[in-house]
Structure 1
């Protein structure tokens, strides 16, 4: 990880007289993969998301005060919780782990295991909070490897398709990892997401294990063309090209079997005029990507009504693309 971060700053570069006493930060949920861009594309949404409240305390070290909204599923142990563990890494990188103490309150506003980047939102909120508390010694680009390490701790795979948009905002492309290379892409102004989270359990690790290690060349060529077409459509503000390109022939056919009513939800979304429909991250959340808020609202509402009729509880979110990433709350 450290290969991708500049040489650690000396402790004396932090002006401890100006360190904030308390800060509250929100970081957004994300739609990873953007249907055809497995592990390389993602975008942030305005809501849901997670909050971190961080306090400067006299006793050195990093501790978790409380976690709300997780139904007791997340560890309070600072070494095992991804938020506190990543904060510890950053303080060690800066060389000030023995010079400052912080305590953390984590407030989960989004469901765990939803496919909406729950762990990444929390990690990004925590890292953005400690960096802001210290007077922003690192840029967002320099924070990114710590965010990726948080994903490795959370799910065993250090990917950036959730943390990159959560931290940077907008739509991001992960061009490569050695070194980490994140590219921000244009965002058409009328692009909206209608997200529905069917409340069924699809663990990220299980969903990833279903993915084939080898694919047919013809399918790979189709997928490359779709990714390239999507990026071209974003640059050209061409919604028809975006729609034609957002098709997944590699991952969706396998992961869709884990999501009840997937193909019926897809039919409904496209019938309502969505540009495309697919799985958000590893699922079970699904996303109807649309031109305009009205189409996204209509598609998401009909999908939720269909799930209700199937006795499947769900949550619904409709959002434009979040351009700012994490933010400090008053």
Structure 2
């Protein structure tokens, strides 16, 4: 083994990207999770500490996403004789719609793969990351773990078989605002309609195809015109205070698009200018403060690398 200890960072992600429910996602530079992993003599995976979670996450390795994929990889490689100790530092809010569980899961599998001298490719690591996601959310979706692992924009073409396509990464700035309101992922999924009108489905297909075309063409005007969701956003937006007021402000001040990150309550917008993005973030933060709602704001370019060794 090249090292006995490693410290890694895995990024937050924006899933759905407005019209791409469960199939599109991209990574951001911040926030994210830090993980220190040590190999030790006593077999088994142990979580020695978690910081930044307010005591909400279980230290039990059988119930925590950061350990789930690690255990599966060791079993798959026949290396259950190895002992692993984990220290997780959550540097992002839980239940925010920013792929918190995905970041933890990806940090774990990336770290163990590095310590074992990379026996698995990133493509081979993805199913293990999805196991951790399934533990956290009840669904092994890849729209957060894939961009967190690969970086950039990703398209989940299919699950059976699992096929993920890396898309061109636009030179844009992502403005994220996390309002301090509670929108559990499972609740946000349950309110979505199980049937949609054919005309709405056709509109959505056009927007998804157009958005992907815009990424390949580098056409930001087209990208902006395609960031529209007629199926999920009209329902989920009801869970987010001042959603349409914030959207109107962002679009009026230069945002290419505005939408819900994952299942919310975080909202995101894409800008060509970091200065415009920062001004809008501060304005939106004040809109919520006027309603007595605090929030966290983050601004970054789109992350092209996925997890990194610190």
TM bucket normalised to smaller:
over 0.9
CA deviation vs aligned residue, 1:109-153 (integer Å, no higher than 9, x gap): 000000000000010001100000110000000000011111111
Shift of residue 77, structure 1, vs aligned partner? 0.6
Shift of residue 296, structure 1, vs aligned partner? 1.6
Shift of residue 85, structure 1, vs aligned partner? 1.7
Shift of residue 19, structure 1, vs aligned partner? 4.7
Q: How many residues align?
A: 310
- Answering whether residue 4 of structure 2 is matched by residue 21 of structure 1, we say yes
In 2: Cα distance, 1:150 partner to 1:210 partner: 24
C-alpha contact (below 8 Å) 2:68/2:131 kept by paired residues: no
Matching residue of 1:113: 95
Matching residue of 2:307: 326
In 1: Cα distance, 2:122 partner to 2:235 partner: 35
Matching residue of 2:296: 315
TM-score by length of 1: 0.93
- Runs of 5+ unmatched residues, structure 1: 1-17
In 1: Cα distance, 2:78 partner to 2:194 partner: 40
Given candidates 209, 212, 226, the residue that maps to 2:190 is 209
Shift of residue 38, structure 1, vs aligned partner? 0.4
Shift of residue 75, structure 1, vs aligned partner? 0.4
CA deviation vs aligned residue, 1:184-217 (integer Å, no higher than 9, x gap): 101122x111110001000000000011111000
In 2: Cα distance, 1:216 partner to 1:317 partner: 36
SS of the residue 1:316 aligns to:
strand
CA deviation vs aligned residue, 1:224-277 (integer Å, no higher than 9, x gap): 000000001110110110000000001000100101111111111011110111
Matching residue of 2:14: 31
C-alpha contact (below 8 Å) 2:174/2:271 kept by paired residues: yes
Matching residue of 1:301: 282
In 2: Cα distance, 1:299 partner to 1:226 partner: 25
- Answering whether residue 40 of structure 2 is matched by residue 57 of structure 1, we say yes
Where in structure 2 are the equivalents of 1:81-96 lying within 5 Å? 81-96=64-79
- Answering whether residue 129 of structure 2 is matched by residue 132 of structure 1, we say no
In 2: Cα distance, 1:306 partner to 1:288 partner: 16
In 1: Cα distance, 2:273 partner to 2:78 partner: 48
C-alpha contact (below 8 Å) 2:50/2:87 kept by paired residues: yes
- Answering whether residue 161 of structure 2 is matched by residue 165 of structure 1, we say no
Shift of residue 292, structure 1, vs aligned partner? 2.2
Shift of residue 309, structure 1, vs aligned partner? 1.3
Matching residue of 2:245: 264
- Answering whether residue 49 of structure 2 is matched by residue 66 of structure 1, we say yes
In 2: Cα distance, 1:37 partner to 1:223 partner: 8
C-alpha contact (below 8 Å) 1:288/1:300 kept by paired residues: no
SS of the residue 2:143 aligns to:
coil
CA deviation vs aligned residue, 1:60-102 (integer Å, no higher than 9, x gap): 01000000000010001111111112110110010111x2101
In 1: Cα distance, 2:180 partner to 2:110 partner: 30
Matching residue of 2:133: 151
C-alpha contact (below 8 Å) 1:288/1:299 kept by paired residues: no
C-alpha contact (below 8 Å) 1:24/1:52 kept by paired residues: yes
SS of the residue 2:305 aligns to:
coil
CA deviation vs aligned residue, 1:43-67 (integer Å, no higher than 9, x gap): 0000000011001111001000000
Given candidates 26, 33, 41, the residue that maps to 1:43 is 26
Given candidates 198, 206, 218, the residue that maps to 1:237 is 218
C-alpha contact (below 8 Å) 1:30/1:162 kept by paired residues: yes
Shift of residue 295, structure 1, vs aligned partner? 2.1
Matching residue of 2:159: 177
